[in-house]
Homo-oligomer: A and B are copies of this chain.
Amino acid sequence: MSYQYVLPGEIEKRSFEILTKELGDRKLLPENEPVIKRVIHTTADFDYVDNLVFSDGAVTKAVEAFKAGAGIVTDTQMALSGIHKSTLESFGGTARCFMSDPEVARLAKERQTTRAWVSMEEAARLPGRWVFAIGNAPTALIRLHELILEKKVDPVLVIGVPVGFVNVVESKEEILKDPVPYIVARGRKGGSNVAAAICNALLYTAAGRTL
Interface residues of A (CB under 8 A from B): 1-4, 6-8, 11, 14-15, 18-19, 41-45, 77-78, 80-82, 108, 112-114, 138-139, 142, 145, 163-168, 170-171, 174, 187-193, 196
Q: How far is the CA of A8 from the CA of B42 in the complex (A)?
A: 29
* Contact residue among B43, B113, B142 (Cβ-Cβ distance under 8 Å from A189): B43
Q: Which residues of B contact A166 (CB under 8 A)?
A: 4, 6, 11, 14-15, 18
Q: Which residues of B contact A142 (CB under 8 A)?
A: 1, 3
Known A-B contacts A167-B3, A193-B78, A193-B193; the reply to A44 vs B188 at CB < 8 A is yes
Q: Which residues of B contact A112 (CB under 8 A)?
A: 7-8
26 residue pairs of the A-B complex, CB under 8 angstroms, read A1-B142, A1-B145, A2-B170, A3-B167, A4-B167, A6-B167, A8-B112, A8-B114, A11-B114, A11-B166, A18-B166, A41-B164, A42-B163, A42-B191, A44-B165, A45-B189, A78-B78, A78-B81, A78-B82, A78-B192, A78-B193, A78-B196, A81-B81, A191-B193, A192-B193, A193-B193
